[in-house]
Amino acid sequence: MLKKIIFQFLALSLIFTYSAQSAESGGMPQLNPEFWISQIFWLVLTFGLLFIILSKFILPKISNNLETRKSQILENIETADKQREETEKKVKEFDKIINDTKVEAKNFFNSERQKVLDDINNKRLSLEKDIEKEIIKAEEEIDQLKKTSQEKVTKIAIETSSDLIKQLIGEDINKSSLSAIVEDLSKKEMEKHNGI
């Protein structure tokens, strides 16, 4: 079909050219038919080659490129959508995990605090008990010491007084009477001392 069309259009142009050749141009070089055939020949040649090369080799490549790009972009959009959904899911999971761990941490913290407080309480109580025991013991010791010291003091007082009397008078005196006197005196002293 293309051959037919080209042939027909060449024939038509030839007719056109010969009919116009008689009209010699004055001012416009366009109307000078000297190179018309040459122009037509070269136009058909260059435009024909351009058309053939473009339609056979170059345009299919460009359209192919456009198609592949389109499909690739669509694919990429699809995968991007998928990945976005996945990330949304993951973000939700993460949020859940973070919330859970927060709650867990709170619970753990509370229980540990309770434990520590209990421990402290227990230790304090036992310590207090120990301290009380120690205090009671010490008080008992003090009491004993008080009693024994009084007895010792009276003994020492009796012995020293008997020694003094022996030195002064040169005679032994009944110890029981002496002790009675010393006790009596010390009692008075103690009463004075204690303010009773």
Residues in contact with other proteins by CB under 8 A are: 1, 4-6, 8-9, 12-13, 16-17, 27-44, 46-47, 49-51, 53-55, 57-59, 61-63, 65-66, 68-69, 72
Report the residue number, 67 or 81, with the smaller CB distance to other proteins. Answer: 67
> In whole angstroms, how close is the CB of 34 to other proteins at the nearest point?
7
Residue with tokens 């008689």: 22
**How many Å is the maximal CA-CA distance in the chain?**
194
> In angstroms, what is the minimal distance from the CB of 24 to other proteins?
15
Q: Tell me whether residue 8 or residue 122 sits nearer to other proteins (CB atom).
A: 8
Q: Residue 54 and residue 65: Cα distance in Å, rounded?
A: 15
Q: How many CB atoms lie within 10 A of CB 23?
A: 10
Question: Nearest approach, Cβ of 67 to other proteins (angstroms)?
Answer: 11
Q: Which is nearer to other proteins, 19 or 111 (CB)?
A: 19
Question: What Rg value do the Cα atoms of the chain yield, rounded?
Answer: 67
Query: Distance between CA atoms of 124 and 132, rounded to whole angstroms?
Result: 12
Instruction: Specify the residue, 70 or 106, whose C-beta has the smaller distance to other proteins.
Output: 70
First to last CA, the chain: 151
CB-based contact 44:13 (threshold 8 Å): no
Three-state SS for 196?
A: coil
Q: Are 178 and 161 in contact (CB under 8 A)?
A: yes
Nearer to other proteins, 38 or 176 (CB): 38
- Least separation in angstroms between CB 42 and other proteins: 4
**Least spacing, CB of residue 85 vs other proteins, in Å:** 24
The runs of H, that is alpha helices, within 24-58 are 36-53
